Structure 1
Amino acid sequence: MYVVRPVELADIAALEALAAVTMPGVHTLPKTREKIADMIERSIASFAAHVDIPSEESYLLVLESPQDQTIVGTAAIFAAAGSNGTYFSFRNDVIQQVSRDLNISHSVHALTLCSELTGYSQLSSFYVGEREHGTPEAALLSRARLMFAVLAPHRFADRFFVPLAGVTDADGGSPFWDALGRKFFKMDFLDAERVIGGARNRTLIVELMPHYPVYVPLLPGDAQAAMGQIHPSGELAFNLLTAEGFEADDYIDIFDGGPILQAHKNSLRTFNGALQRRVTTAADSPDRGREPQLRYAVSSGSEHNFRAVITHCAALESQVNVALPADVLEALQIAEGDTVICVRI
């Protein structure tokens, strides 16, 4: 049974190995042991903190394989993007231009630098191994972040967004960056990612990025074609997130032009479908096995000891309890009488 749980200091070596296999231009995890350790320590402190208003907290979850307790995936959620500055993105705008003398009216696609996503909660760092691609466990890992937000809504904003890696070539080059960002930063795409980082809230962006709308028709064709397109490694995340209720088209990343998906929590399936139930043991349920068994993502009801698994049980919509077998109780580190969050998969 795969388990999603908060990252621990003992996971540093495993995360180093995962970070080493990601493709050029796809930065889901820090690349150095020191930065990975910092990320883990921030996550541990965030889970332990008592939060009234979302701020600089970041929560990193890992997917643990049952065979040998190895880490095969990661997923993170940041409480408030740009909490120590501003989160910048390009907003897709349409500018109407009219000439009454020539009787001409047309629309022009433009990109406007904006900070509208600042303060939204941000999903990030989603990665699963090849063996877990397309499995329910991959969906569990992605959804577990939102299940934690259901459990502890005071820790997060009402709106969420997810930046996905854009199109890059085999060497990590980005046609969108080459057409736009390079003109202002005078550096390669990977160098800019390394210097400025993934936070998108550095002073350099304010100082160097254009503050006036960028007319998209003036960009080269390959740069226009890359806008809003995802890196092949991001297709799984894109499919899971759009099925969840996230939408694209409003914003793109200022570096590689990748799509930024966003949604209000009330439009997300996890928030709408989450059920809080009291746990009973499977042996105490005389009807177990008689009713059709459905698949649910189930997470523990404690925000300071969050864990999530996939299990099968009878439909829960009309019940106040959920009967869970002993191995699920052990995996979630819960006991009979505790509460859990259940979401139908």
Structure 2
Amino acid sequence: MTFRLRAARADDLEPLYEMAKLTGGGFTNLPPDRAALGAKLGRASDAFANEGEELADEQFVLVLENAETGAIRGTCQLMTNVGQHWPFYSYRLNTLTQYSNELDRTVRAELLSLVTDLEGSSEVGGLFLHPNERAGGLGLLLARSRYLFIAMHRARFADRTIAELRGIIDERGGSPFWDGVAGRFFGMSFQDADYFNAINGNQFIADLMPKHPVYVAMLDDDARSVIGVPHPTGRAAMRMLENEGFHYENYVDIFDGGPTMIARTDDIVSVKSADQRKISSVDNAEGERAIIATGRLSTFRACYGARTVNEDGTISIDSQAADVLDVKVGDSVWSVTR
């Protein structure tokens, strides 16, 4: 069974909606709301239609498609310049050190400060793979194809890229972090706040959230214990991000306390190592395993394949990948080893 990643279209709305209902909450970029998902697809359509090379506030949506049946089994998103339409809030975890001469004692207190430091970054997010397809490296295909897309459209992305990982959600679908911090001020459950944010944006945080730093020591144990901790289902994603050169730099999500990972875009491994070559043959099935991509914007598509880089600088790929990508000898493809 062969899968390819491609640009999302308007008629992908229903399968995206069905997948959104499987996320289990706390997944802001994939809300189970047809109107919100339709708006995302509309925005993505505008981004794919823009042939310019400028950095703008855009959102691209990609979908994972079964090449044999056409079924949509996963999705991911790329945001090019966050914080332009409304502020992009994070909590920054830092330390305040104070000293008392009388007591001869130094006290260090951890603080959570509401900041917009990450405004202007690009963001990779919204990655979701259907539970029935979580094998065979499809999550890796979804994740790393995003970086090929960035490399192929580099001018459309910022110099810094972030990825927000979902935080800890309890068995009730609530968030210990939300309950211990913001929930005390908003009178809303985590589910209600998260859904509202997914549909309407987080300006209500700016309107109602206290601007003073929060002393971590004043939070209950449940809230403290989950700061910067990814949801169990996101641990593999965190490792993949670390392998790509992302780092946790003490920024956490304002809703669930999940970690925000940060990298210089040009230092992301799959961006830095991606290259473009002309196909010289499509009968190579013995080459190294790679992710191969072609097209531009709305014609972007990527899949797994076998490749051999030849001495003359061309590339040989296997015939199945050539069929899935609809490429032939003489066409150019981008690739990165798996």
With the length of structure 1 as denominator, give the TM-score of the two structures: 0.91
* More off after superposition, 138-147 vs 206-215: 206-215
Aligned-partner residue type, residue 267 of structure 2: S
Within 1, Cα distance between the matches of 2:95 and 2:296? 46
State the 1:8 CA deviation. 1.4
RMSD, aligned α-carbons: 2.0
Partner SS for 1:21 = coil
Match of 1:197 in 2: 198
1:320 aligns with 2:320: no
- Residue-by-residue CA offset, 1:26-65 (whole Å, 9 max, x unaligned): 3441212222222112112211112333222110111112
Is 2:305 the counterpart of 1:311?
yes
Q: Kindly indicate whether residue 165 of structure 2 is the aligned counterpart of residue 141 of structure 1.
A: no
Q: Which residue of 1 is the match for residue 275 of structure 2?
A: 275
Residues of 2 paired with 1:20 and 1:304: CA distance? 26
Map of 1:326-337 to 2, 5 A cutoff? 326-337=319-330
Distance 2:202 2:179 in 1: 21
| Alpha-carbon displacement from aligned partner over 1:241-283 (angstroms, at most 9, x marks no partner) | 2221211142001111111111111331112211211112234
Match of 2:49 in 1: 48
- The AA in structure 2 aligned to 1:212 is H
Return the offset for 1:198.
7.1
Q: In structure 2, do the counterparts of structure 1 residues 319 and 93 end up closer, same or farther at CA, with 3 Å as the change threshold? A: farther
Read off the aligned partner of 2:208 and give its amino acid letter: L
Shift of 1:323: 1.1
Taking the aligned partners of 2:299 and 2:99, their CA distance within structure 1 comes to 59
- For the residue of structure 2 that corresponds to 1:308, the secondary structure is strand
Specify the alignment match of 1:73 in structure 2: 74
Identity across the alignment (%): 30
In the alignment, is the contact (CA less than 8 A) between 1:19 and 1:28 conserved in 2? no
Change in Cα spacing, 1:27 to 1:48, as seen in structure 2 (3 Å) is same
Q: Is the 8 A contact 1:147 1:299 kept in 2?
A: yes
Q: Secondary structure at the match of 2:196?
A: helix
Counterpart residue identity of residue 2, structure 1 = F
For 2:31 and 2:333, locate their aligned partners in 1 and report how far apart those are by CA, in whole Å: 32
Amino acid at match of 2:290: Y
User: Within 5 Å, which residues of 2 pair with 1:223-262?
Assistant: 223-262=223-262
> Partner of 2:288 in structure 1?
294
Residues 187 and 138 of structure 1: is their aligned pair in 2 closer, same or farther, counting only changes over 3 Å?
Answer: same
User: In structure 2, what is the equivalent of residue 129 of structure 1?
Assistant: 130
Deviation at 1:105, TM superposition (A): 1.7
SS across alignment from 2:75: strand
Aligned partners of 2:307 and 2:318 also within 8 Å: no
**d(CA) in 2 for partners of 1:229, 1:199:** 26
Contact 1:82 1:201 in 2 (8 A): no
* Alignment correspondent of 1:63: 64
Normalising by structure 2, what TM-score? 0.93
Structure 2: distance between partners of 1:317 and 1:323: 7
User: Which residue in 2 is equivalent to 1:263?
Assistant: 263
Given that 1:87 and 1:199 are in contact with CA atoms closer than 8 Å, whether structure 2 keeps it comes out as: no
Q: 2: CA distance between counterparts of 1:251 and 1:318?
A: 45
In the TM superposition, what is the alpha-carbon distance from 1:194 to its structure 2 partner? 2.1
Aligned pair in 2 of structure 1 residues 199, 228: CA closer, same or farther (>3 Å)? Answer: farther
Distance 1:149 1:276, change over 3 A: same
**Number of residue equivalences:** 337
Distance 1:219 1:240 in 2: 31
The 1:224–1:147 alpha-carbon spacing in structure 2 relative to 1, beyond 3 Å, is: same
CA-CA distance at 1:220 after TM superposition: 0.6
Q: Is the contact made by 2:26 and 2:256 (CA closer than 8 Å) also made in structure 1? A: no
State the Cα deviation string for residues 65-103 of structure 1 (Å, max 9, x = none): 234221110000011111212100001111111123322
2-side partners of 1:303 and 1:321: how far apart?
A: 23
Query: Which amino acid is the alignment partner of residue 296 of structure 1?
Result: A
Query: In the TM superposition, what are the counterparts of 1:151-166 in structure 2 within 5 Å?
Result: 151-166=152-167
Gaps of 5+ in 1: none
